[in-house]
Structure 1
Amino acid sequence: MNKHKFELTKRYILFIVSLLFSALGVAITKKGELGVSPISSVANVMSFQFSQLSLGSWLIIWNCVLILGQILLLRKKYQWIQLLQVPLSFLFGWFTDFGTWMLSLFEPNHYLLRLGLVLAGTIVLGFGISLAVIADVIMNSGEAFVKAISDTIHKEFGNVKIAFDISCVVLAVILSFLFFHTLVGTREGTVIAALCTGFVVKFFNGLLRKPVEKLLIAKTKE
C-alpha cells in the first residue's frame, strides 16, 4: 500500500470513529429528554410518533432524504463519491441505536441530571464532529446538503447552515404540534445543542488537529 492510500485509509477509519462519537452524543442528548441537536430534531419527533422504527432508523431515513436533496440540487455537478454518505448514514444510525441501548437502563429523574446529559451529549457530539473535520475525507449528509444549497444559490455556507438548522427545528415543531398537539422532542436541549456545538467543535479542533494530523501522516515508503 503506497503512502497516499495508507493515509487515506487512516482518514476514513478516523471518520468512522467520528461517526461513533457523534452518534453517541445524539443518544446521550436524547436520554436527557430535553431535545436533540437541530439536524436530528425531525428524526427525533418522527421516532416518537412512529415508534415502530428507532431513532437510529429515522436518522438513516432523514440522512438519505438529505442525500437525495443534494442530487436534485446539484444534478450534473453532483460528485458520485458522495454516495459514500449512504453507507456512512447507516453506520451513524446503527451507532445511535447502540448508544441508546447502552443507556437504556439509566433513568434520569432529576431535571439537573437531564440537563447534564444534554451538555455531556453536546460535548461528545462536538468531539465527534471535530474528528470528522480533521479526517477531511467526506462531508456528512447534513453539511453536504447545506453546501449544495450554498453552491446553488451562491450564498455563504455559514449563513445557509444557520437557516438550515432553524428550518429543521421549525419543521420538528410543526410535526410535533401536528402529531401531538403539544411540543414533543424539541425543547431547551435543542437550543443548547444549537448554541454550544460550534464552540465545542472549535475547542476540540484547536486541541486535536496537530497531534491527530501527525498520526494520520503515513510512514510507509512510496
Structure 2
Amino acid sequence: MSLKEKLTGKRLFICAIGMFFYASGVAFTKNCDLGISPIVSAAYALSLILPVSLGWCTSLCNVVFIIIQKALLKREYTLTIMVAQIVMSVIFSLAIDGTALLWSFIQPASFFYPLRILIFVIGCAVLGLGVFLIVQADFVVLPAEGVVNAVTKCSKIKFGTVKILFDGAMVLTTAILTLAFLHELKGIREGTLLAVLLIGTFVKAIARIIGPGVGAFLTGGTEHQTQNCIS
C-alpha cells in the first residue's frame, strides 16, 4: 500500500491519538525525575544545554535521523517519505511541548519514591500505547524508528538487536553531552532502564488486548494483521 493510499481519515486519527499518548508518556516519565526513555534521551540532553524546548530538540535529533536514513537507503528514501517524516516530526514536537504544558500540574518529582516509581511505570504504559497506535496506523514511522528500520534493512541484523543498539547509542550520546557541557550525568537513572524493560512489554500486552479492535476499526471490520509492535 502506497503512502497516498494510507492517507485515510481513520489512519490519521489513530496516528494522532498515538502521538498524543506517546508525548504524554514522555511528559509523565520526565516529570518523575528518574531518568528518561532512551528514545528521547539525547533530545532531553540538548534541551538542558540549549535554550530550546524538549519538543524542538526532538526535531533537531530527527533531522539527524532523516539524514542517516537518506544516506543508508539512498533512492529508496523518497522525497514523499522525507516530507511525511518532517511533518510527523513537527507535529510530534508540538505534541511533546503541548502535553508537557497540559500535564505540568503533575509534578511527581516531589512525591515519595515508591509513588514516583508507580507514576513512571504508568507513564511507560501510556508511552507504550502511543507507540502501538502509531505503528498500527501504518502511515509513516517517526524518524528514530525509521533509522532502526533502515539499519535493519541494510545490515540484515534483526530489528530487535538493532533497536537495542540504537537505544544504547542514544543513552551513550546523552551521557557524553551532559558530561561534556553540564559536567554531570543527567537524564540517565534507574527509570531509563525501567523504560527499556517495560515499554516493549507494554506494547506487546496492548497489542494482544486491543490490537484486533484497532485493526477492525482501520479496515472497516475486515481481517487485519496486527503490525509488528515489538520494539
TM-score normalised according to structure 1 size: 0.90
Percent same amino acid among aligned pairs? 34
Question: What is the alpha-carbon distance in structure 1 between the residues aligned to residue 143 and residue 7 of structure 2?
Answer: 23
Residue 140 of structure 1 deviates from its aligned partner by 1.6
Question: What is the alpha-carbon distance in structure 2 between the residues aligned to residue 209 and residue 106 of structure 1?
Answer: 30
* 8 Å CA contact 1:45, 1:186 repeated in 2: no
Question: What is the alpha-carbon distance in structure 2 between the residues aligned to residue 176 and residue 202 of structure 1?
Answer: 32
Residue 211 of structure 1 deviates from its aligned partner by 1.1
Match among 95, 112, 115 for residue 113 of structure 1: 115
Question: What is the alpha-carbon distance in structure 2 between the residues aligned to residue 60 and residue 6 of structure 1?
Answer: 24
Residue 7 of structure 1 deviates from its aligned partner by 8.0
Q: Which residue of 2 aligns with 1:28?
A: 28
Q: Which residue of 2 aligns with 1:144?
A: 146
Q: In the alignment, is residue 73 of structure 1 matched against residue 79 of structure 2?
A: no
Structure with bigger RCO (C-alpha 8 Å, 6+ apart):
1
Residue 6 of structure 1 deviates from its aligned partner by 8.9
Q: Which residue of 1 aligns with 2:87?
A: 87
C-alpha change, 1:203 and 1:47, in structure 2 (3 Å) is: same
Q: How many residues align?
A: 215
Residue 188 of structure 1 deviates from its aligned partner by 1.2
Residue 5 of structure 1 deviates from its aligned partner by 5.8
Question: What is the alpha-carbon distance in structure 2 between the residues aligned to residue 16 and residue 106 of structure 1?
Answer: 23
Q: Provide structure 1 residue ranges, at least 5 long, that are not aligned to the other structure.
A: none
Question: What is the alpha-carbon distance in structure 1 between the residues aligned to residue 175 and residue 10 of structure 2?
Answer: 40
Question: What is the alpha-carbon distance in structure 2 between the residues aligned to residue 163 and residue 28 of structure 1?
Answer: 25
* 8 Å CA contact 1:40, 1:59 repeated in 2: yes
Q: Which residue of 2 aligns with 1:124?
A: 126
Question: What is the alpha-carbon distance in structure 2 between the residues aligned to residue 79 and residue 216 of structure 1?
Answer: 25
Question: What is the alpha-carbon distance in structure 2 between the residues aligned to residue 98 and residue 152 of structure 1?
Answer: 36
Residue 106 of structure 1 deviates from its aligned partner by 3.1
Residue 183 of structure 1 deviates from its aligned partner by 1.3
Residue 135 of structure 1 deviates from its aligned partner by 1.4
Question: What is the alpha-carbon distance in structure 1 between the residues aligned to residue 7 and residue 90 of structure 2?
Answer: 24
**Runs of 4 or more consecutive aligned structure 1 residues displaced over 6 Å after TM superposition:** none
TM-score normalised according to structure 2 size: 0.87
Note the aligned Cα RMSD (angstroms). 1.9
* 8 Å CA contact 2:6, 2:139 repeated in 1: no
